Homo-oligomer: A and B are copies of this chain.
Amino acid sequence: MCNHDSFMNQAVELSALALTNPTGGPFGAIIVKNGEVIGKGNNSVSTNNDPTAHAEVMAIRDACKNLNTFQLDDCILYTSCEPCPMCFGAIYWSRLSKVYYACTKKDASDTGFDDDFIYRELNLEHTKRKIPMIALDKEKAIEIFQKWKEKQDKIDY
């Protein structure tokens, strides 16, 4: 069995926990660095009361905790399903180098999850979205951004 298959199998085994020991939906993910698994996650939305506890997010948080960092350069994610927009964002913010996935967002949709719908919503005008997003006055907020730009001793991420 090649490494890809072996790593993906581990992610899929984590997804299968939803059938026997459910903490959320049937999704699993692992993170690999230099051929070693450094983070694992399975969907834990319902037991953690955390709608952000998707498998990829859980694996990213686990890997970051294990490596004591908030950036996962040179790390690869294996996930049992194509990431939803939330996990897509988390992958970019954590600076993973590559993602391998098994099921697609269409498969997730067919199984009752909103992934594909959320992808479509992203491209709608703000006020036409199912959850409307409305701009308010930004005068005070943008002052903070300006002060942040001028700040010397900041940690970038």
User: What is A's interface to B at a CB cutoff of 8 Å?
Assistant: 4-5, 8-9, 11-12, 15-16, 18-19, 22, 24-26, 45-46, 48-52, 54, 57, 60-61, 64-65, 68-72, 80-104, 107-108, 110-112, 114, 117-119, 121-123, 130-138, 140-142, 144-145, 147-149, 151, 154-157
Instruction: Decide: A145 and B107 in contact? CB cutoff 8 A.
Output: yes
Instruction: Decide: A144 and B49 in contact? CB cutoff 8 A.
Output: no
Complex: how many Å from CA A24 to CA B151? Answer: 13
Which of A86, A101, A130 is packed against the most chain B CB atoms within 10 Å? A86
Instruction: Decide: A134 and B101 in contact? CB cutoff 8 A.
Output: yes
| Contacting residues, chain B, for A130 (C-beta < 8 A) | 92
Residue of B nearest to A156 (CB): B112
| Contacting residues, chain B, for A72 (C-beta < 8 A) | 51
Instruction: Decide: B15 and A141 in contact? CB cutoff 8 A.
Output: yes
- Output the least CB separation between A154 and chain B (Å): 7
User: Among the listed B16, B89, B104, B132, which residue makes an inter-chain contact with A89, where contact means beta carbons less than 8 Å apart?
Assistant: B89
| Contacting residues, chain B, for A135 (C-beta < 8 A) | 82, 100-102, 104
A26-B145, A88-B86, A157-B45 are known contacts. Are A132 and B52 too (CB-CB below 8 A)? no
Instruction: Decide: B112 and A149 in contact? CB cutoff 8 A.
Output: yes
| Contacting residues, chain B, for A64 (C-beta < 8 A) | 49-51
A49-B65, A135-B101 are known contacts. Are A80 and B119 too (CB-CB below 8 A)? no
